[in-house]
Amino acid sequence: MDKTLILSTILALASFSSIAFAYDPRPLQDFCVADLISTVRINGLPCLDPATVKADDFFFSGLAQPGNTSNPAGAAVTPVGVSQIPGLNTLGLAIARLDYVEGGFFPPHYHPRGSEIHTVLEGSMEVGFVTSAPSFKFYSKVLEKGDVFVVPVGLVHYQRNVGAGKTVSIATFNSQNPGNSVIPNALFGSTPDIDSDYLAKSFALDKETVERLQALF
């Protein structure tokens, strides 16, 4: 990773931190390192006693390693959230490394609690999103190394590798828990199943096709 890309990633994080409070609660202390084993359930995670906090609670090592892309989509996510860095708790930030083999993709999905900035570190990828009703306008862009693209909060979007060879990008979120609802999995892989007659009518498909999709997911 060259210095230009490191700087662009840092700037993306800094920019998102300034608007993060629009989505996550504003912290009332310098930090709130997450107590990952507490059974208390709140909006976020409870804090460790600051006297027990260590530098490692603000640290993660691993983004230099590629994720496992041996799956049908040919893509992988290496998340860096509160589970990986407890010190992110209440700060309204999360990032992830995204790896794609040639032709790899992430299917249509949305993040209900956070906007997303994509920064390409290697390769070439297409990012696209669709606005909400009534316009359903489609925006897309092919990104090259060093390019940045913003996906607004809650909008359905996708990413795919459109270049020769692998692609690596960093996704930055202005929420410590942006959520991820993958459209095909949500509709055809729910537990229990959504009524297949209803899905067939909604997507103008025959019932047998819907049931095959439900079995697949």
Q: Residue 126 annotated as binding? A: no
How far is it, in rounded angstroms, from Cα 158 to Cα 24?
24
How far is it, in rounded angstroms, from Cα 15 to Cα 27?
17
Tokens of 119: 């920064």
Vertex 144, ends 174 and 23: CA angle to 5°?
Answer: 10
Is residue 159 within 8 A of residue 106, CB to CB? The reply is yes
Least Cα distance to 96 among 73, 113, 119 occurs for 119
* DSSP assigned state of 9: H
Tokens of 7: 């700087």
* CA 90 remoteness from chain centre: 18
Beta bridge partners of 156: 130
Q: Residue 118 annotated as binding? A: no
Q: Residue 144 annotated as binding? A: no
Binding site, annotated residues for oxalate: 111, 116
Binding site, annotated residues for Mn(2+): 109, 111, 116, 157
Binding site, annotated residues: 109, 111, 116, 157
